[in-house]
Chains A and B, each alone.
Chain A
């Protein structure tokens, strides 16, 4: 065994791509997975006892806001990468909604370099689709991809101009990268601050109707179908949206989709009492929508769970609901929330959850990772499926505390994360 080799011994190895789900050893060497098998030779390797743990491909987050440059009081690339590693993520996509925006080789290069310096989860820059995120002119796709961008997105903004979006999807075909889109009719979503329905009516808050998403997704599906290009749907929130994506996939349209943990376990009723800690964009929707998202996650219509990690400084959420900014932090609770609420309650199984957190997002991006077979990058997460813990916003690694799950008791926790065979995070014994 080579220097720095690691043998993860006797864990329940779950690798959705190879279909492995049994007690095995996993050896890591030279930054890649050397071998997966029974009773592997431990000579010269650091041995990690995983006999009570699940060993899985480390997670990949398609959607995170690391706030640097411009929002360092909320999060930095370094703090975000550490928080991600603590949540079992080996890689996170950093959205370009920074200040200044990430839309040219220099800004993309900055994010990539800061990510490498952080030495925690890999940080994959995502560049804006349009210059300045203004929806008017395309950025230099080739240049930003050369500088390290893995995909293109205008972040939380829907590209209003259907003509520009068409050009973006067509032009991206040269580079075979997905255009990540926020499927929403921006005019119809208007100034809505929560889902338009009986709760917004009772609370007297302006609503964002679910149909704004239906229309946005239908439009973007139509463009993907016409052009043959790749479109990824960020943060799908409606059952109808899931249906549209399912039908598009059945026709062979090259679309993929993500959903957030909070949309999978919370509804607009959880905003009752003007809970700014649960103000998110797009908003939490109805129970029927939540059920539709779960079905889509289970049947593979939804390819990936993405956190939409969006740190907010502690005093930003201390405001009236309409005035408070949207967003919740998500790295450190994503697995545990979904394991507790979806896996243990029977909505999906553990293998599916791990697939949607690892192999699924790798497939969306067309990158290495998300598998445990020999030769793959040694990106591994160790999970204690039985640990019970309570979410204390003050003890997370993110610089911000705006979790939607404060006080929740969860079961299952990520306890160690390896990137390129190197341990980037290990839960200290309690």
Chain B
């Protein structure tokens, strides 16, 4: 495999290690790839002959399918491995799984794992490129990138933008990738939720904390609303989902009280009537489906760049349509 020529390392394990310039390059590279998905024949030969393993230790629909489309539209050969029914379920350790994959001479691994640090762990141990598709509560860099791309599409510039992440920040890898990425690009970032779901010391990252969603709405240009995982209620972090909706739900009346119109993002999957009301999710300021569309383009950009593609050639790369 050719070494990267685009100023990236071997892997994408998070947005925290990236520079603002590297993040901008990924976003810029995603732009020309957006168009490929609008074609009748959605395929270019950029990754022809490359083998990619999608290694998903946790269930995932959206992210896995999005990666798979990105890989297939770049003509890579892909294999999907899920945790259930695989060697993982039979007690194989992560390091053994990694060594076995490596022995099959693959080019890239897209990994989703329940443990924070799992992607970096794998990246240190195999020469293949590793892309983090979510590790525990640590990072989900491609989700952060697609959220930022969606914000940039709408606002034109990230610098000075006020973005508030609402909900279960404590357990959220999406929140962390958004915080790292947005701060690097000069946005102002806040988090909002009950203190039970806000991790300690987060202010030290340069993030404002709101405990009242009304205050967050008044402050923000955009809200990124996190899914409240139903098991958190069992963990005692919130008393009931009903009360969570009452106190923290993003509702139309709350948005109408805001001094400006807010852009509404949600990484999905949504719990309608819990963290977000349907009329907000389906409303005119929601870009939730645009996030999904952008997800494929961002992932194509990441795959292309890690495989050694030059950012300024992305436009021409996509034009080599394969027949």
Q: Which of B120, B137, B200 contacts A205 (CB 8 A)?
A: B137
B112 within 8 A of A: no
**Which of B59-67, B201-209, B268-276, B297-305 faces chain A?**
B201-209
B32 within 8 A of A: no
Across the interface, do B116 and A201 meet the contact criterion of CB distance under 8 Å?
Answer: no
Contact mask for chain B residues 193-215; partner A; CB cutoff 8 A; 1 contact, 0 none? 00000011110110000000000
Across the interface, do B139 and A204 meet the contact criterion of CB distance under 8 Å?
Answer: yes
**Which of A144-152, A163-171, A320-328, A361-369 faces chain B?**
A320-328
Q: Which of A197, A318, A320 contacts B200 (CB 8 A)?
A: A197
Across the interface, do A319 and B93 meet the contact criterion of CB distance under 8 Å?
Answer: yes
User: For residue B16, which residues in chain A have a CB less than 8 angstroms away from its CB?
Assistant: 202
Across the interface, do A198 and B204 meet the contact criterion of CB distance under 8 Å?
Answer: yes
B136 within 8 A of A: yes
Across the interface, do A204 and B200 meet the contact criterion of CB distance under 8 Å?
Answer: no
Chain A residue nearest to B202 (CB atoms) is A201
Chain B residue nearest to A193 (CB atoms) is B116
A323 to B94, CA, bound (A): 10
Count A interface residues, CB 8 Å.
Answer: 21
Q: Which of B94, B121, B176, B204 contacts A204 (CB 8 A)?
A: B176
Contact mask for chain B residues 126-161; partner A; CB cutoff 8 A; 1 contact, 0 none? 000000000111110000000000000000000000
A368 to B278, CA, bound (A): 75
User: For residue A19, which residues in chain B have a CB less than 8 angstroms away from its CB?
Assistant: none
Given A197-B200, A274-B121, A322-B136, A205 contacting B116 (CB threshold 8 A): yes
A209 to B136, CA, bound (A): 20
Return B270 CB to nearest CB of chain A, in Å: 22
B266 within 8 A of A: no
B95 within 8 A of A: yes
A319 to B199, CA, bound (A): 24
A207 within 8 A of B: yes
User: For residue B176, which residues in chain A have a CB less than 8 angstroms away from its CB?
Assistant: 202, 204
Across the interface, do B199 and A203 meet the contact criterion of CB distance under 8 Å?
Answer: no
Segment 196-224 of A: residues with Cβ below 8 Å from B: 196-205, 207, 209
Return B202 CB to nearest CB of chain A, in Å: 5
Return A384 CB to nearest CB of chain B, in Å: 36
Contact mask for chain B residues 90-121; partner A; CB cutoff 8 A; 1 contact, 0 none? 00011100000000000000000101111011
A252 within 8 A of B: no
Across the interface, do B95 and A318 meet the contact criterion of CB distance under 8 Å?
Answer: yes
A318 to B93, CA, bound (A): 9
B173 within 8 A of A: yes
A273 within 8 A of B: yes
Chain A residue nearest to B125 (CB atoms) is A318
Across the interface, do B95 and A319 meet the contact criterion of CB distance under 8 Å?
Answer: yes
Across the interface, do A201 and B199 meet the contact criterion of CB distance under 8 Å?
Answer: yes
B94, B116, B200, B204 pick with most chain A CB within 10 angstroms: B116
Contact mask for chain A residues 171-201; partner B; CB cutoff 8 A; 1 contact, 0 none? 0000000000000000000000000111111
A207 to B136, CA, bound (A): 14
Which 7 A-B pairs have CB atoms at the shortest separation, nearest pair first? A320-B115, A204-B137, A274-B117, A198-B201, A204-B138, A201-B199, A204-B116
Give me 19 other A-B pairs in contact (C-beta within 8 A), A200-B199, A203-B116, A322-B116 excluded. A198-B204, A198-B205, A199-B201, A201-B199, A204-B136, A204-B138, A204-B139, A204-B173, A205-B116, A205-B137, A207-B199, A209-B200, A273-B120, A274-B116, A320-B94, A321-B115, A321-B117, A322-B117, A323-B115
List residues of chain B with CB under 8 Å of any chain A CB. Answer: 16, 93-95, 113, 115-118, 120-121, 135-139, 173, 176, 199-202, 204-205
Query: Could you jot down 5 A-B contacts, CB within 8 Å?
Result: A204-B173, A205-B117, A315-B95, A318-B93, A321-B117
